[in-house]
């Protein structure tokens, strides 16, 4: 499993998580930030620095935002 950036990040893109990530697996999209699942090492460093609490461990992502991790 990996971490997921969900809906609260849309149009916010604070980028504190990018600065905190030790493996640089967080990328900027048009309206949100994204975690590359193959590059994420599941360290969790990004989760506590998100000001809008948009980062979840995949299994803990609220069902309403399941589309953010289901391909």
What confidence tens digit (pLDDT) does each residue in 17-70 have? 999 999 999 999 999 999 999 999 999 999 999 999 999 999 999 999 888 776
Tell me which residue range forms the domain holding 54: 3-68
At residue 13, the pLDDT reads 87
pTM of the model: 0.89
The count of domains in the chain is: 1
DSSP 16: H
At residue 71, the pLDDT reads 53
Residues 6+ apart with CB under 8 A from 5: 17, 26, 32, 33, 34, 35, 50, 54, 55, 68
Q: Which three-class secondary structure state does DSSP give residue 47?
A: helix
CATH number at residue 54: 3.30.70.20
At residue 65, the pLDDT reads 86
CA distances from 23 to 1, 11, 36, 43, 67 (A): 16, 24, 10, 10, 24
């Amino acid at each position: 499993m990996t971490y997921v950036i969900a809906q609260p990040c849309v149009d916010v893109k604070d980028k504190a998580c990018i600065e905190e990530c030790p493996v640089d697996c967080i990328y900027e999209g048009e309206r949100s930030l994204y975690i590359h699942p193959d590059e994420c090492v599941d360290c969790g460093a990004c989760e506590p620095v998100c000001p809008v609490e948009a980062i979840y461990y995949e299994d803990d992502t609220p069902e309403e935002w399941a589309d953010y991790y289901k391909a």
